[in-house]
Amino acid sequence: MSTETLEFQAEARQLLELMVHSIYSNKDIFLRELISNASDALDKRRLAGLKDDSLKTDDPHIEIEADKEARTLTVRDNGIGMTRDEVVGLIGTIARSGTAETLRRLKENRGNKETKDNKENGESAELIGQFGVGFYSVFMVADKVTLLTRKAGEPTGVRWESDGDGTYTIETVEDAPEGTSVRVHLRPADEEDALYDYTDEGKIREIVKRYSDFISFPVRMGETTLNSMKALWARPRSEVSEEEYHEFYRHISHDWTDPLDIIQMRAEGTFEYEALLFLPSRAPRDLYQRDARHGLQLYVKRVFILDDSRELLPDHLRFVKGVVDAADLSLNISREILQQDRHIQLIRRRLAKKILASIKELMGKDAEKYRTFWREFGPAVKEGLLDRAEDHKAILDIASFASTAGEEPTTLADYVARMPEGQDKIYFMTGESRAQVENSPHMEAFRAKGYEVLLLTDAVDEIWVEAVRDYDGTEFQSITRGEVDLSSEEEPSAEEAGEYEAVLAWLNETLDDVKEVRLTTRLTSSPACLVSDTDGLTPALEKMYKAMGQDLPSVKRILELNPKHPLVSAVKAAHDKRPDDPGLSETAELLYGTALLAEGGDLADPARFAALLADRLSKTV
Ligand code: ADP
């Protein structure tokens, strides 16, 4: 049979190189990765067997064989196996997005390794965990790997071999058994480099026990089964160690960092299920990518059925990892059925409730962890405010927001508790950054008055504030929208209003880009600001809709003037004296432009604005 030599894809080659040069200290995990792959392959085969009898296998298991003489370790499964194309596609390439970026950072860390050892190693491990290097980790301990596989139901098998140097060979073999075996040709042991003797039975036992105990297929060495195979989610919390939970989490999530919280639940009665859920401690890179793989694993009576079941969670909790084991579903359930199944919808609602309740509990018992959670996942969770109204309260209860009250984010309950006498609304302002919002002229009167304002700077904030009216009865109010009603003593006096009538009317006519010009009390030190109509689109929303390709007419806003500002009173005085002065309309333009710039907006014609300004300045210097 002819042997072909192929090259690894460029990114795969880089990753291999990092593995060969061993970028982090825990090399034991290569065995866990191989067992995990074997277990996945057995799951897939069991599933295939449900649909096609001829693919069934009697004794699904994983076998480990060590040969001290030859210094090899072989992990064999009678799982689904791979076709030749699959071997080339799955083993020879890395298909995941974001890999190049991760590799770059891994490389950087490696460059730093000599100087700042441990921290960087930790981060490398996390990076690797994030994109599940899996199979390639064998090259930390191997100088050659031989993979022999035959896809269940296929007539021939494939032998793949590589010493990790950029190429591999592949050939068809006639007599391979169904399933996959991976033979690792071990490098000489070097305990100082944490490269142990992986032919040692004690070592193998220890690794399997530590990392793979919950694997639901027997992992055998000779006559002995090394793992207990107990479904972790079915065991009482008190009997399972933290370490076991963390290992399980790693197995299902490919995330190296420990989870923030573990949530276990059991529903009894007409529809029974058990769930074991994990809150990750960091957001995956693809959290906001529509086509990313999220969701839970679905089991039916301990049998693995589906990966990435998004149907089991509402979208805004898609980052939660874990397992749901339902007792009464059909083993043949498909994704299509899942989407419509009433029980699944019920489970989804119950899980969502439980998750939100657990996060609320976390807030109370571990503020630090809660803060991490919210920092990583808050924007995703807030998407839920666009969903079913009945969940709004629970989401708002666990939300926190940046605020003018301090550096730390605040909860709404705390905000409301701090509201001074006379304040009856939750004030907020949306924008792109804390600095931009905090320095906005709109803040002035609120600052003067001592009213706290929430600073909402996530993209999703622009949208949910349109959909949610109140928190527990206290209304939300944008400070850039409609008229603010802060206090009567600061109202522009009737006298002022009368005096300004003429200049306001003139400005209304002169400034085409604004809907209205009026006096305000919301400013203390700025001359002017722009506000949106109570029901008009905000500029950020307008931008968003346009970015999504919607064709909208530009929304005009209201220019508000501060009559206490010398510039505003001077414009008024000038207009009273010489209403026809052409220079006046330029001043009006400058006034409008300044208001736009102050809120971080874009001028329609920056060159003209600059010219007008330069002209004015040249008269004053
Ligand atoms: P991951 O397991 O994170 O997807 P790996 O690099 O470990 O990444 O494996 C890549 C793919 O190769 C797997 O997703 C699987 O499709 C296939 N594969 C690996 N090992 C086996 C095996 N023992 N049996 C069948 N397929 C396997």
Q: Are 284 and 130 in contact (CB under 8 A)?
A: yes
User: What's the CATH class of domain 233-365?
Assistant: alpha beta
Q: Up-side HSE of residue 50: CA atoms within 13 Å toward CB?
A: 14
- What's the whole-number average pLDDT of the chain? 87
Among 278, 277, 250, smallest CA distance to 265 is for 277
Cα 45 to averaged position of ligand 1 atoms, centre (Å): 13
What is the band of 95 on the pLDDT scale with cuts at 50, 70, 90?
low
pLDDT at position 101, please?
Answer: 66
Ligand 1, atom 16, residue with closest C-alpha: 90
Among 146, 44, 32, smallest CA distance to 87 is for 146
452 pLDDT exceeds 70?
Answer: yes
Cα 88 to averaged position of ligand 1 atoms, centre (Å): 11
pLDDT at position 131, please?
Answer: 47
- pLDDT, mean of residues 191-212: 89
Please tell me the distance from the alpha carbon of residue 454 to that of residue 410, in angstroms, as a whole number: 9
pLDDT at position 234, please?
Answer: 87
Enumerate the domain spans of the chain: 4-222, 233-365, 399-478, 494-618
- pLDDT, mean of residues 118-125: 52
548 pLDDT exceeds 90?
Answer: no
Please tell me the distance from the alpha carbon of residue 395 to that of residue 400, in angstroms, as a whole number: 10
Written as six digits, the tokens of 339 are 């989407």
Q: Do domains 4-222 and 233-365 have the same CATH topology?
A: no
Cβ–ligand 1 contact at 77 (below 6 Å): yes
Ligand 1, atom 21, residue with closest C-alpha: 37
Q: Identify which of 413-417, 503-507, 605-609 has the greatest average pLDDT.
A: 413-417
List pLDDT tens digits, range 302-347.
777 788 888 999 999 999 999 999 987 876 677 778 888 888 899 9
Residue with tokens 């994704």: 335
pLDDT at position 540, please?
Answer: 75
pLDDT at position 215, please?
Answer: 86
Please tell me the distance from the alpha carbon of residue 64 to that of residue 220, in angstroms, as a whole number: 6
Residue with tokens 């770059």: 104
**How many residues does the structure list for the chain?**
621
List pLDDT tens digits, range 157-182.
999 999 988 899 999 999 899 999 99
Cβ–ligand 1 contact at 87 (below 6 Å): no
Q: Among 74-78, 212-216, 299-303, 523-527, which stretch is predicted with the lowest mean pLDDT?
A: 299-303
Please tell me the distance from the alpha carbon of residue 251 to that of residue 246, in angstroms, as a whole number: 9
Q: Are 301 and 272 in contact (CB under 8 A)?
A: no
97 pLDDT exceeds 70?
Answer: no
Q: Select the more confidently predicted residue: 225 or 488.
A: 225
Cβ–ligand 1 contact at 134 (below 6 Å): yes
The CATH label, of 3.40.50.11390, 3.30.390.50, 3.30.565.10, 3.20.20.80, for the domain at 4-222 is 3.30.565.10
pTM as predicted: 0.71
pLDDT at position 115, please?
Answer: 42
- Taking residue 386's Cβ as centre, other Cβ atoms within 10 Å add up to 16
Cβ–ligand 1 contact at 250 (below 6 Å): no
**446, containing H or E segment:** helix 444-449
Assigned CATH topology for domain 494-618: Four Helix Bundle (Hemerythrin (Met), subunit A) (1.20.120)
Please tell me the distance from the alpha carbon of residue 414 to that of residue 392, in angstroms, as a whole number: 17
pLDDT at position 568, please?
Answer: 92
Q: Is 558 helix (H, G, I), strand (E, B) or coil?
A: strand
CATH 3.40.50.11260 is the classification of domain 399-478:
yes
Residue type, 86: E
- pLDDT, mean of residues 183-208: 92
Q: Select the more confidently predicted residue: 540 or 86.
A: 86
59 pLDDT exceeds 70?
Answer: yes
